[in-house]
Structure 1
């Protein structure tokens, strides 16, 4: 927990002291549990599903919930894209009211793409990351679910607490 707070504060110090460099490169933070096993099965639930027989994709709509280990992804709609060779899922494309939860951390956005094999989630559109009561906002956040590392970019913003007096 202290490591996470240290990483957030270090990122904020970089923003405050070198705003142009920090905005160009993005701000790094930790996200979720330290490691997620991306080889674990992906459980999917939704109200409706339409399957495209030509390419094997499936469109999930209504209360979509996707679970893989400690990671939970929910959205209005998710397109499940199957691998072109072999079995399994290549990526998930979530749209509308996207919520990604890993451990105690949560992030919201308009859309997210999750590439299963690399364990990379890219969230876009008014991203709001909540960690231990602190919030960070950005236009985009890229999370490596294997390492737990995340990068926020595109007008990163937060509010720092005051000193509390004395």
Structure 2
């Protein structure tokens, strides 16, 4: 039971019904982040913990919120170290959506590796950073260094100037 209690020190869990979930999110931040800005709050319809295999399973309307990131998905698996005290990685599956201050992203799956502070997006990943748009087979975001790596069939659309992201005016047609 001790590893489970330590888990709460790292990850605050709240299971809410669908209507309560919609009422609390996506608007403001959870109250738990007010007093503990380094906390992580995960809400879902159901949660199951199996410390025999060092994993936790969230299912249905999963929303992970930190002080600077929000991830939504249909399900999420949390992998703990052998002691059960530290989260090693998270995998969000099914319509995964990333929201940050200037960046949004979506993919079928997002894997967050805690030690490297990186997020790996697969399954038609797409990132919009301010107005710039990036797609590829795999998009990796490095949160500590604000870097991105795109592997396989990358497409990057960069907008510059004060009308960035605005459609260009069409030239007048000649008669």
Q: Same fold (TM over 0.5)?
A: yes
Aligned position for 1:64: 62
Please say which structure displays the higher CA radius of gyration.
Answer: 2
Aligned position for 2:92: 94
State how 1:1-16 maps to structure 2 within 5 Å.
none
> Once the two structures are superposed, what CA deviation does each residue of 1:125-147 show, in whole Å capped at 9, x if it has no partner?
10111123332211111111111
Q: Which runs of 5+ in 2 are unaligned?
A: 1-36, 159-164
Aligned position for 1:132: 130
Tell me how far apart the structure 1 counterparts of residues 132 and 116 of structure 2 sit (CA, whole Å): 28
Q: Displacement, 1:40?
A: 2.6
1:164 to 165, 169, 174: 169
CA contact (8 A) 2:80 2:89 kept: yes
TM-score norm. by structure 2 comes to 0.65
More off after superposition, 72-81 vs 156-165: 156-165
Q: How many residues align?
A: 128
CA contact (8 A) 2:95 2:108 kept: yes
Tell me how far apart the structure 2 counterparts of residues 159 and 118 of structure 1 sit (CA, whole Å): 27
Superposition RMSD in Å: 2.2
Q: Which runs of 5+ in 1 are unaligned?
A: 1-38
Q: Displacement, 1:159?
A: 5.3
TM-score norm. by structure 1 comes to 0.69
> Secondary structure, in 3 states, of the residue corresponding to 1:126?
coil
Tell me how far apart the structure 2 counterparts of residues 60 and 86 of structure 1 sit (CA, whole Å): 17
2:143 to 137, 142, 145: 145
Aligned position for 2:14: none
> Once the two structures are superposed, what CA deviation does each residue of 1:22-43 show, in whole Å capped at 9, x if it has no partner?
xxxxxxxxxxxxxxxxx93221
